[in-house]
Amino acid sequence: MIELRHLKTLQALRETGSLVEAADRLYLTQSALSHQIKDLEDRLDCKLFVRKTRPPRFTSAGRRLLTLADEAVPLFKTAERDIARLSGGEAGRLHLCIECHSCFQWLVPCINRYRVNWPEVELDLSGGFNFTPFPALARGDIDLVITSDPVEMAGIHYAPLFHYEAMLALAKNHRLTKRAYVTPDEMAGETLITYPIDRNRLDIFTRFLDPYDLEPEDTRTAELTPMMVQLVASGRGVACLPNWALTEYLGSDVITARKLGPDGLWCKLYAAIREEQLDTPFMEDFLSTAVVSSFESLSGIVRINDNEEGLGQVPPAT
């Protein structure tokens, strides 16, 4: 009578707080989700939550099913993982490369969790500043690249992880703090601090400044996010950084940040892998673990829906 999909639906409703967001998370239409819940309530002959409250207020029956879901869903996931191992997918190599040091904030917890579940997989991690990672991925020198700048290559698949907003970090007394958002022309006269990668792979150039044929007055690079933040705080320049990377610094009143444009500059983060590894159990589980860990660790990120096409970065619907 009660199915696993019902339990996952109730968990999603609890975690998102709305039918619309729960449907997005489960890749269902809102009407399909509502029908599924109504069908379960009819089977059980009771209501599971109060619909006109936000977040929804679960009834005693709904809370009991949530308790069951919290116990049963992890058991199913563990069983699926064990079966994958038994079918011969437990051993392998997973050499990771990241193009942004701010990814460490969520990637390290992800790797720690993954090591527990897949102890036989050989894991390694490197940064992508000093070499071009995509040819190395295609050659098989590395197995996965975390990137916000997909490069279309034969045999490479980009698994989307989440949306994030790129924002402009400013010193507390910077002139642009008076603005609700920053326009491209207001970047004139500024020193832009970036990670040491080609400008053609930086969204603030390709999607914010270049379309208007504008340039900052100067640029400088720094490999580490804390170094970039300190340079910004001391008035040495401004920096375009992911919203999640700025959270801890904004909370400590070291710097401030503004949107880039009235709608913000929204980007996607991807995991690039070889197509031949798409169905490898240990790779599939790493990708799912990465999504779970990122949403547990970061604020301000948004889920990517299956109906989004291509590799373009688009702002999430509001």
**Burial of 242 (C-beta count, 10 Å sphere; 0-12/13-18/19+):** buried
Side chain identity, residue 168 = L
Cβ–Cβ contacts within 10 Å for residue 278, how many? 12
Please state the φ and ψ torsions of residue 162, each to the nearest 5 degrees: -170, 160
Please list the alpha-helical segments (H only) found in the chain.
4-16, 19-25, 30-44, 60-84, 104-117, 133-139, 203, 225-233, 243-251, 281-297
**Which pairing describes strands 218-221 and 191-194: parallel, antiparallel, or unpaired?**
parallel
**Token duo for residue 216:** 């900052």
**Which pairing describes strands 144-147 and 92-98: parallel, antiparallel, or unpaired?**
parallel
Please state the φ and ψ torsions of residue 281, each to the nearest 5 degrees: -55, -45
Full pLDDT tens readout for the chain, 318 residues: 788 899 999 999 998 888 888 888 888 888 899 999 999 999 999 999 988 888 889 999 999 999 999 999 888 887 777 676 656 555 678 999 887 666 777 888 899 999 888 888 888 887 655 567 889 999 999 999 998 888 889 999 999 999 999 999 999 999 999 999 999 999 988 999 998 888 888 899 999 999 999 999 999 999 888 899 999 999 999 999 999 889 888 877 789 999 999 999 999 999 999 999 888 888 989 999 999 889 888 888 888 875 555 555 555 554
The answer, yes or no, to whether the previous bond of 74 is cis (omega within 30 of 0) is no
In this predicted model, what pLDDT tens digit does every residue of 287-315 receive, in sequence order? Answer: 999 998 898 888 888 888 755 555 555 55
pTM of the model: 0.69
